[in-house]
Amino acid sequence: CKFIRPKKRYDDPIYMEFYKRCEYYNMVALFHTGIVGAIEFWCPKPGAYSDNMNPITLEAIGFECPKLNVIGAHLGTAYYMVACFVALASTYRTSNIYFDISGGDFLGPIYEGRYIGKNIPVSQVLFGLDEPPIRYEEMIGRLNKHFDDIGLSQEDKDKIFYKNACRMFGIKYD
């Protein structure tokens, strides 16, 4: 299930039963986190504001639904450190909160902050793209360069690009 632009915070009790049903049916829940883009279609509507999508809201969902795999998209755009520590905290209890690194040109602060492997465990990072296909090669190249710049091993890169997702979905990859 994909969640975006909620009228209340993602962790509002009114939504919790829905998340528990997602957990029961072994679904994955993908939440847009951070600031909503400036494209008119995505702009917040009255009552649906970016703060409702703060990555801290995923903490309660992950803890209340320990078997639900929770993915925060865009590593919390603008709330990067919060996203990192929500993912880190989940590794001490449930290890079910992940963040993807989709976001294209908005990933600059992630590169500059060198968060991956330092503030967010590699085990909780997922590869993702939300750019048009014509930009895939460019974006993957930028990610690989960043991973090299911060000294990630090939094993860590493999975890981000596919092994973490395989583990989450129960897919064998060897």
Write down the pLDDT at residue 117: 92
Helix ranges (H only) for 3-135 are 13-24, 57-64, 80-90, 108-113
Low-confidence residues of the chain, pLDDT below 50? Answer: none
What are 130-164's pLDDT values in tens digits? 889 999 999 999 999 999 999 999 999 999 999 99
Structure tokens at 86: 């929500």
Is 134 contained in some domain? yes
Write down the pLDDT at residue 91: 95
Is 101 contained in some domain? yes
Is 150 contained in some domain? yes
Write down the pLDDT at residue 67: 97
Q: What is the CATH number of the domain that holds 17?
A: 3.20.20.140
Q: How many domains does the chain have?
A: 1
Is 90 contained in some domain? yes
Domain with 57, as residue range(s), is: 2-169
Is 174 contained in some domain? no
Distance between CA atoms of residues 42 and 2, nearest Å: 14
